[in-house]
């Protein structure tokens, strides 16, 4: 996994969130989304009893 996502969020993004209640965090969680996608694909291909 990459560096801690919280450390990668700029002050400008924090301020944007505080002002508007929303911001975009592109690429911050890409390692996690790829890992989750592989897990979903594996479960779809070979579902287990808890899938």
Lowest mean pLDDT, pick from 4-8, 15-19, 36-40 = 4-8
Write down the H helix ranges in 1-51. 11-20, 30-45
Question: In the structure, what pLDDT confidence band is assigned to residue 40 with cuts at 50, 70 and 90?
Answer: very high
What is the rounded CA–CA span in Å between residue 16 and residue 5? 17
pLDDT of 1 > 60? The answer is: no
Which own/partner contact pairs does 21-28 have at CB distance under 8 Å and 24+ positions apart?
none
Question: In the structure, what pLDDT confidence band is assigned to residue 5 with cuts at 50, 70 and 90?
Answer: low
Q: What is the mean pLDDT of the chain?
A: 86
More confident: 4 or 28: 28
């Amino acid at each position: 996994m990459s560096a801690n996502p919280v450390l990668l969020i700029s002050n400008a993004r924090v301020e944007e969130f505080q002002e508007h209640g929303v911001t975009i965090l592109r690429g911050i969680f890409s390692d996690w989304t790829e890992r989750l996608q592989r897990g979903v694909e594996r479960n779809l291909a070979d579902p287990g009893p808890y899938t």
